[in-house]
Amino acid sequence: MSLTHNSFLHSESVICIADVGKLRMHFYSQKDCWVYLICGSVALMAYKCFFFATWIFYAVLNDFCTDVAVALQQPIERISFEMVFRSLYFFHRALLKNPQLLLIPWLVEYQRSMGLVKAVRRRHRRNFGHLP
């Protein structure tokens, strides 16, 4: 990879910290170097914020699903995380009409219409007599 002034100014790639020393000799001024490093660190910070926000959201959703599983007396494996997530929209709409609602009791009350509990499926059985 060649380090030229124009290639770094016009590319959208983020550089490695180890390449900072190499950049020093390829930029015409320190001002250009600091502008590029600040933009690169902002992109990295945005990625970290996205990562941690996703992780926190999943932790909160997992906590909601655990509370629903306890309230319904079901194992956590039978609770659909996707349907709990989708039902948050409907809870928000109901909350606008009645601000006294609580999330977990509302989810328990409407668990059947929201499809929160996964159906029990029969195990797939192999019928060896009909195999080609």
Mapping DSSP onto H, E and C, the string for the chain reads CCCCHHHHHHCCCCCCHHHHHHHHHHCCCHHHHHHHHHHHHHHHHHHHHHHHHHHHHHHHHHHHHHHHHHHHCCCHHHECHHHHHHHHHHHHHHHHHCCCCCHHHHHHHCHHHHCCECCCCCCCCCCHHHCC
Q: Which tokens belong to 36?
A: 């590029």
Segment 1-29, tens digit of pLDDT:
444 444 444 444 444 444 544 544 544 45
Q: Token pair of 74, please?
A: 């079901």
Predicted TM-score of the model (pTM)? 0.58
More confident residue, 106 or 5: 106
The pLDDT, as a whole number, for residue 52 is 86
pLDDT of residue 112: 93
The mean of the pLDDT values for the chain is: 75
Q: Which residue has the tokens 């490093």?
A: 37
In this prediction, residues 49-58 reach a mean pLDDT of 88
